[in-house]
Chain A
Amino acid sequence: MTVTICVGSSCHIKGSRQVVEQLQELIAGENLSDKIILSGTFCLNKCQQGVCVTVDDEFFSVSPETVSSFFEKVIKARL
């Protein structure tokens, strides 16, 4: 599974760094790094909904506050 996080200007200001770091921690904590590939992207043209995240090309809007529930509900559900 590929999880892509936007690191453009807008999403950066909205906290893409925290989202990436929390996801990295969660993935490492559950030993899922061989199953999930984290990658970055520039603008997905949905800046209003940032931080923009795609999971295998499906779009999600995530914020630093919702990362853990996003990880549980979306990422783990799809493994």
Chain B
Amino acid sequence: MNDLTCDIGYKSINHVGEQLCGDHVEIVEQEDGSTVAVLADGLGSGVKASILSTLTSKIISTMLAAGLSIEECVETIAATLPVCSERGVAYSTFTIIRIIQNHTAELIQYDNPQMIVLRNGENWEYPRTETTIGGKQIFRSLIRLQEDDVFIAMSDGCPHAGIGLAYNFGWKREDIIPFMEAMSLCGYTARNLAALLVDECNKLYGGEPGDDATACVVRIRKRVPMNILFGPPSNRDDVERMMNLFFSKEGKHIICGGTTSSIAAKWLRKPLRPSLDFTGDIPPIAYLEGVDLVTEGVITVNRVVEYAKDYLGENKSYETWSSGKDGASLISRLLFEEATDINFYVGKAINPAHQNPDLPINFNIKMNLVQELSEALKKMGKRIKVSYF
């Protein structure tokens, strides 16, 4: 396998007044290291559309992941989808992006706006072959992946944005392309690229979307390993082993915790220089030759966990951590945006000073933080390995 990986993110907005979204994105990872992402757009909006699109994307992703052909998927969908009583049809469009072992992308498109592919930051009109399966006209493409390729799948709510408001005919695909070309080179994650596109649609709709709008972005990037040391080992004799393992690993090195960084400084035989720059309410960072970032422990990591949960949800703190200079913002940028593979080296030593009941930090909280952070990072699609000492 090569050293590429895919970063997948999506965002939907609902038709004004609807609680459910009629678009659905489903992402499944296969055992052989392939990933299938399906964006389905159900007919209409609200609960019916939601059922149609959820069924469609679930059926396709599950069947493809199990190795069945696209023909069988389409036939199954046609035979399964409930028929709408008002319109007499069962209908959901879909776009499938299948990343095969990080070297090839298979695109299968049915009636959604044509997927945009950006290569080296520029639009690329990739080859498509047309086939007919069960009376449906389906476009297929096979693309050899390159680093920095960006695939943008949309529901028709995106190009329809602003119809009759900002534009006569909506935000056309050829106008979306330059918008995304400009954004694709700024180092945004897939999740943020999708959010930028959908938020722009929402703006064009005047905040009252006339249709569900969804964007699903797949960004091909090089694997970036990163290592975090958090806490001293419970047995002092393990310091040597822990430091050896940590510093021998490829990628950037982050150390969280005052005592931990002092131990690392001693092991490296380099001076630890804490700064006195307080930015925000997070304790200052420190400098240590040979380590990319040194921060305080529990308070800083606690904030990182808050940012991680927010990033997976409403993404309200993005502006805070994407530019902040405090320890928590710096860790967040490294972990959420830069890293793809993260190794945690967690020491289980109990800091006697933290067992004071007056303090809002203790050993259990520390272990929970590691758990919560690694789970959140997994949800961001990162590969996580945690070793305890």
Residue A41 CB within 8 A of the other chain: yes
Q: Is the CB of A7 within 8 A of B299?
A: no
Q: Is the CB of A7 within 8 A of B296?
A: yes
Query: Would A13 and B299 be within 8 Å (CB), given that A20-B276, A40-B276, A42-B272 are in contact?
Result: yes
Residue A39 CB within 8 A of the other chain: yes
Size bracket, chain B contacts: 20 to 34
Which residues of the partner chain A approach B259 to less than 8 Å between Cβ atoms?
Answer: 8, 42-43
B 264-277 to A, binary, CB cutoff 8 A, 1 in contact else 0: 00000000111110
Residue A55 CB within 8 A of the other chain: no
Interface residues of A in 34-76 (CB under 8 A from B): 38-43, 45, 47-48, 50
Q: In the complex, what residue of chain B is closest to A46 when comparing beta carbons?
A: B353
Q: How far is the CA of A73 from the CA of B296 in the complex (A)?
A: 31
A 1-40 to B, binary, CB cutoff 8 A, 1 in contact else 0: 0000111111011001100110010000000000000111
Q: How far is the CA of A16 from the CA of B283 in the complex (A)?
A: 9
Which residues of the partner chain A approach B356 to less than 8 Å between Cβ atoms?
Answer: 10, 47-48
Query: Would A42 and B261 be within 8 Å (CB), given that A8-B283, A12-B283 are in contact?
Result: yes
Q: Which of B284, B299, B361 contacts A40 (CB 8 A)?
A: B284
Size bracket, chain A contacts: 20 to 34
Residue B159 CB within 8 A of the other chain: no
Q: How far is the CA of A50 from the CA of B273 in the complex (A)?
A: 20
Query: Would A42 and B286 be within 8 Å (CB), given that A12-B296, A12-B299, A17-B278 are in contact?
Result: yes
Q: Is the CB of A47 within 8 A of B353?
A: yes
Which residues of the partner chain A approach B359 to less than 8 Å between Cβ atoms?
Answer: 10, 13
Q: How far is the CA of A45 from the CA of B298 in the complex (A)?
A: 16
> Chain A interface (Cβ within 8 Å of chain B)?
5-10, 12-13, 16-17, 20-21, 24, 38-43, 45, 47-48, 50
Q: Top 4 nearest A-B pairs by Cβ distance? A: A47-B353, A42-B258, A40-B274, A8-B258
A-B contact pairs, 6 of them (CB 8 A): A7-B276, A10-B361, A12-B283, A17-B281, A40-B286, A41-B274
User: Besides the contacts A9-B354, A13-B361, what 20 more A-B pairs have beta carbons closer than 8 Å?
Assistant: A5-B276, A8-B259, A8-B296, A9-B283, A9-B298, A9-B299, A9-B361, A10-B361, A13-B360, A17-B283, A21-B278, A39-B274, A39-B276, A40-B286, A42-B262, A42-B272, A42-B274, A42-B296, A43-B258, A47-B352
